[in-house]
Amino acid sequence: MTTTPQTAPGDQRAGFDEIDILWISEGMSCDGDTVSITASSQPSIEDVVTGLIPGLPKVNLHNKVLSPTLGGEEFLAPFRAAARGELAPFILVIEGSIPNENINGEGYWTSFGNDLATGEPLTLNWWIDRLAPRAWAVVAIGTCAAYGGIHAMAGNPTGSMGLADYLGWDFRSAGGLPIVNIPGCPVQPENFMETLAWVLYHAAGAAPPPPLDDLLRPQWLFGKTVHEGCDRAGYYEQSDFAYDYNSPKCQVKVGCWGPVVNCNVPKRGWMHGVGGCPNVGGICIGCTMPGFPDKFMPFMDAPPGGYLSATLGKPYGLFVRRMRGITNASLNKEPRWRHNRDELTTGYDP
Ligand code: SF4
Ligand code: SF4
Ligand code: SF4
């Protein structure tokens, strides 16, 4: 833990050789993103916290699932110090969506530790209000923290929302950065660790800030659609569709939203390059998207747009599939001049 005198928001410059990561998963969360990032290998969380990545600052990670402490006040100490303005610089990572404590009735929706004076629970919102303005960078991991996700579905009683909805989309951290959203339910492991490494290089003064799109996502990770990277896209183009989940063909008719979803998982895979939803038979349900899950339900129904484009493309697809079948059959035959008869039939003319 790096402890320094109180640092006013906005006056932290990059060039740190040590930084803390204060990771709170007490949002409306399943801790799935913490679990997911343990599968990352490029880089791994172990490599980052043990200093094996050249050029990164020394990282002190405070995540309850990955903590070597016994928990309790020992674990909470750096969070309390940061809330008092006695710890800097730090990166705040929020996992899970942010409930609306203005509508919690007589209770509270979610908490992280207790007030030492009163014994009353300290809400996630209490912590965000104190830590976010002091944080050198603020990172939302997973779709819940980024955009609200599952806990923000229509009909929920908590009024849950994403971090940018809570802090404001024009929020700037003490390091001058917007919130960095890394969506996914859960986040793809390397998507998070690669972005975190970029933020850490920036903290070290060795890299510019990571480029983000309008939805505060890393541009290089979310600029393409699932469909553009899918193993099955060749089937789609030929109008060759799966009608159950045992087929290797395009799954748009059994509920895949890949053509309209920003996600690199089919290209990158899930663990060590293996997997990637539609590549391995899972329909894309748009889990990285701000409209998830409401706009993708009911899952497993064919998306209306997918039905339309598949229907419009059918005449073309059937025609080229037929033509390609004929050409493919021809290409699977050796040229007829390859024989051992006593004549030369290659067409060679001396
Ligand atoms: Fe869990 Fe998904 Fe929310 Fe992450 S985004 S906390 S994996 S429900
Ligand atoms: Fe596109 Fe989904 Fe079909 Fe893949 S399975 S080609 S992502 S519609
Ligand atoms: Fe989520 Fe679709 Fe990406 Fe799979 S392919 S991780 S379901 S957005």
**Tens of pLDDT, residues 222-245:** 999 999 999 999 999 999 999 999
Residue 309 has a pLDDT of 85
Residue 12 has a pLDDT of 58
What is the per-residue pLDDT across 122-151, written as a single tens digit (0 to 9) for each? Answer: 999 999 999 999 999 999 999 999 999 999
- 227 assigned binding-site residue: yes
Amino acid sitting at position 280: V
Distances (CA, A) of 4 to 22, 58, 81, 200, 315: 15, 16, 10, 19, 68
What is the per-residue pLDDT across 288-332, written as a single tens digit (0 to 9) for each? Answer: 999 999 999 999 888 988 888 888 889 999 999 999 999 999 999
Cα 287 to ligand 3 centroid, rounded to whole Å: 5
**Residue 10 confidence (pLDDT) above 80:** no
227-331 maps to which CATH number? 4.10.480.10
Residue 9 has a pLDDT of 44
Amino acid sitting at position 62: H
Whole-number mean pLDDT of the chain?
94
**Domain edges within the chain:** 18-221, 227-331
Query: What's the pLDDT band for 2 if we cut at 50, 70, 90?
Result: very low
* % of the chain with per-residue pLDDT over 90: 89
| Closest ligand (CA of 96) | 1
- Residue, of 9 and 153, whose pLDDT is higher: 153
Query: What's the pLDDT band for 7 if we cut at 50, 70, 90?
Result: very low
Cα 196 to ligand 2 centroid, rounded to whole Å: 29
- 263 assigned binding-site residue: no
**Residue 6 confidence (pLDDT) above 80:** no
Q: What is the pTM of this model?
A: 0.92
Q: State whether CATH 3.40.50.700 applies to domain 18-221.
A: yes
Detail the DSSP E strand segments found in the chain: 18-24, 58-62, 90-95, 111-114, 121-123, 137-141, 180-182
Ligand 3 atom 2 nearest Cα: 284
Residues 6+ apart with CB under 8 A from 315: none
Residue 8 has a pLDDT of 41
Kind and range of the H or E run holding 323: helix 314-331
Q: Do domains 18-221 and 227-331 have the same CATH topology?
A: no
Cα 15 to ligand 2 centroid, rounded to whole Å: 44
